[in-house]
């Protein structure tokens, strides 16, 4: 798959900043773990994409998170990269050719992480992992997040998909939201408790309760942060 025949995701200024944040964090993580000789530290990218991104402003191709992680020093001892799209996976394979410590998976990242990648990072394996969860939207399931927390070996870096939530689930009138989008929201959140962070009941002229939107992005993020601590069990949630 050549760059000319693959449509790369285009990114703006915020996505460039996000890439820098993840890269710097990965470097710090690798530096700390490399200093513990008994441990093998690995990098997991659940939505790795094609490995390259195109800048909206200039059209230039720049490295995505997988290539940034591959270039980190001290090096990660293993990299596990997942994507659902076959064309992206093909391009990614070409970019990392010659790196035997890079493992690429094509398919649903929820299933692959739970059944193939996370089992490699059990506590007794002396492996520890930094897992980037940067979904394209509400494609990530709570089961993955909860499993990572329970293993005590995986640190996640989550890009919260608030845009997809606002566009498809967190409407002013919740009765208009499509059933499929409610299911996607429930799957990401783990249940329907997100409604309590967004809506409150208000009586109408007919003596029934209507749900009205009372919470914005800040309330949604705060509720999910609390859920990561109290339900999933992550000790530190910035």
Give per-residue pLDDT as tens, 57-66.
999 999 999 9
Question: What domain range includes position 208?
Answer: 164-218
Question: Do 127 and 178 lie in a common domain?
Answer: no
Say how far residue 83 (Cα) sits from the centre of its chain.
Answer: 12
What are phi and psi for residue 132, nearest 5 degrees? -90, 120
At 202 the pLDDT is 62
Categorize the per-residue pLDDT at 208 as very low, low, confident or very high, splitting at 50, 70 and 90. very low
In a domain, 130, yes or no: yes
Residue 158 has pLDDT above 90, yes or no: yes
Categorize the per-residue pLDDT at 6 as very low, low, confident or very high, splitting at 50, 70 and 90. confident
Sign of the dihedral through C-alpha 228, 230, 232, 237: positive
Partner residues linked to 202 by β-bridges: 210
In a domain, 144, yes or no: yes
Question: Do 152 and 169 lie in a common domain?
Answer: no
Question: Do 133 and 171 lie in a common domain?
Answer: no
Sheet with 154-158: strands ordered across: 102-106, 78-83, 40-45, 127-133, 154-158
In a domain, 27, yes or no: yes
Partner residues linked to 106 by β-bridges: 83
At 205 the pLDDT is 38
In a domain, 182, yes or no: yes
Question: Do 178 and 196 lie in a common domain?
Answer: yes
At 200 the pLDDT is 87
Please provide the distance, in angstroms rounded to a whole number, between the alpha carbons at the two ends of the chain. Answer: 39
In a domain, 224, yes or no: no
Model pTM score? 0.92
What are phi and psi for residue 137, nearest 5 degrees? 180, -140
Tell me what the mean pLDDT of segment 70-74 comes to: 97
Higher pLDDT among residues 209 and 16, named by residue: 16
Contact 18, 159 (CB under 8 A): yes
Contact 62, 29 (CB under 8 A): no
Question: Do 195 and 97 lie in a common domain?
Answer: no
At 105 the pLDDT is 98
Q: Strands of the chain (E only): list them.
A: 10-11, 40-45, 52-55, 61-63, 78-83, 102-106, 127-133, 154-158, 199-203, 209-213
Categorize the per-residue pLDDT at 122 as very low, low, confident or very high, splitting at 50, 70 and 90. very high
Question: Do 18 and 127 lie in a common domain?
Answer: yes
Question: Do 15 and 58 lie in a common domain?
Answer: yes
Question: Do 130 and 195 lie in a common domain?
Answer: no
Q: Please, which contacts does 215-218 make with residues 24 or more away whose CB atoms are closer than 8 Å?
A: 217/162, 217/166
Question: Do 78 and 173 lie in a common domain?
Answer: no
In a domain, 37, yes or no: yes
CA distance readout (Å), 42 to 19, 27, 78, 125, 165: 18, 12, 5, 12, 30
Residue 207 has pLDDT above 50, yes or no: no
Tell me what the mean pLDDT of segment 178-198 comes to: 96
Task: Report the CATH number that the domain containing residue 94 is assigned in CATH.
Answer: 3.40.50.150
Tell me what the mean pLDDT of segment 155-161 comes to: 96
Question: Do 79 and 169 lie in a common domain?
Answer: no
The total of structural domains in the chain comes to 2
User: Which residues are within 8 A (CB) of 188 and not within 5 positions of it... i.e. 6 or more apart?
Assistant: 138, 140, 141, 142, 161
């Amino acid at each position: 798959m050549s760059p000319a025949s693959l449509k790369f995701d285009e990114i703006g200024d915020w996505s460039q900043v996000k890439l820098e944040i993840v890269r710097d964090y990965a470097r710090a993580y690798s530096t700390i773990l490399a200093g513990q000789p008994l441990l093998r530290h690995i990098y997991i990218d659940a939505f790795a994409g094609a490995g390259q991104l195109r800048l909206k402003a200039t059209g230039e191709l720049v490295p995505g998170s997988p290539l940034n992680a591959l270039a980190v020093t001290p090096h990660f001892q293993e990299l596990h990269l997942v994507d659902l799209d076959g064309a992206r996976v093909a391009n990614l394979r070409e970019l990392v050719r010659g790196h035997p410590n890079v493992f690429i998976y094509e398919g649903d990242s929820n299933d692959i992480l739970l059944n193939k990648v996370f089992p490699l990072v059990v506590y007794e394996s002396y492996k520890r992992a930094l897992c980037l969860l940067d979904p394209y939207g509400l494609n990530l399931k709570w089961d993955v997040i909860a499993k990572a927390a329970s293993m005590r070996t995986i640190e996640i870096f989550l890009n919260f998909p608030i845009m997809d939530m606002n566009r498809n689930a967190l409407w002013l009138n919740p009765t208009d939201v499509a059933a499929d989008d409610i299911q996607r929201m429930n799957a990401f959140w783990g249940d329907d408790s997100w409604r309590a962070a967004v809506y409150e009941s208000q009586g109408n002229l007919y003596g029934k309760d209507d749900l009205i939107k009372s919470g914005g992005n800040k309330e949604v993020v705060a509720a999910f942060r609390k859920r990561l601590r109290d339900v999933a069990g992550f000790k530190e949630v910035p």
